[in-house]
Amino acid sequence: MKIHHLSEQNSVLNTFISEIRNVEIQNDSMRFRRNIERIGEILGYEMSKHFNYKASTIKTPLGDCSINLLENNVVLCSILRAGVPLHNGLLNYFDTAENAFISAYRHHKHDPESFEIVVEYLACPSLENKTLVLADPMLATGQSMLATFEALKPFGTPKEVHLVSAIGAQEGVDFIADHFDKNTHLWIAAIDKKLNEKGYIMPGLGDAGDLAFGEKLQH
């Protein structure tokens, strides 16, 4: 796996990551969503540097201009529900991308410390020979990312796969590296050291889905 750990370099990305982690700023859910979206924009921009480009000519009012333009057929797939603002950020930059949505949630069957990943909803175009971008702001155990990737397999074989996340735990990053092809890219803003006993990233930020959209009742 090719890991692009973007906060290893100082940039304004750190501001947005610090705000989504900050317990006081988190009270503003609109700002939380917008910061996740901004992180998606930055990760998408960095990712775009690794895409393929072809020479084109554009007519300006004063003459012709040569420019290299993106030629990848991008499919953005995000994991509901926390993935929605990250998806919006990516879509802000990949104007012509096709889109897929998949649900994955942690189902606590017996006790709060053990869970299984349940995939229910899935809407996806053909992935055959396309650039699949799979986005979820939190990469904790890595199980949601793997379960959704497995569920996408009947839709075709992508030419390349890019995973996009805001914050991960080292354990989840290692898990993903073990289970995905070595040519897969991971674009991630920050990697934290560990998970707690409930599978939350430490220090992480808490529950991204709840912070973006409000608490949900367990069912």
Ligand X SMILES: O=P(O)(O)OC[C@H]1O[C@H](OP(=O)(O)OP(=O)(O)O)[C@H](O)[C@@H]1O
Ligand Y SMILES: O=c1cc[nH]c(=O)[nH]1
Give the interface with ligand Y as residue ranges (CB under 6 A): 82, 138, 140, 200-201, 204, 207-209
For position 142 contacting ligand X by CB under 6 A, the verdict is: yes
* Phi and psi at residue 154, to the nearest 5°: -65, -10
Given Mg ion, ligand X, ligand Y, none, residue 201, with its beta carbon under 5 to 8 Å by kind, binds: ligand Y
Q: Which of residues 110-139 bind ligand X (CB under 6 A)?
A: 117, 136-139
Q: Toward ligand X, which CB reaches closer, 35 or 143?
A: 143
Given Mg ion, ligand X, ligand Y, none, residue 204, with its beta carbon under 5 to 8 Å by kind, binds: ligand Y
For position 190 contacting ligand X by CB under 6 A, the verdict is: no
Residues that bind Mg ion (CB under 5 A): 79
Rounded distance between C-alpha atoms, residue 20 and residue 36, angstroms = 7
Q: Toward ligand X, which CB reaches closer, 73 or 83?
A: 83
Rounded distance between C-alpha atoms, residue 61 and residue 116, angstroms = 58
For position 85 contacting ligand X by CB under 6 A, the verdict is: no
Rounded distance between C-alpha atoms, residue 205 and residue 27, angstroms = 12
Q: Toward ligand Y, which CB reaches closer, 82 or 152?
A: 82
- Please say whether the dihedral angle defined by the alpha carbons of residues 151, 152, 154 and 158, taken in this order, is positive or negative: negative
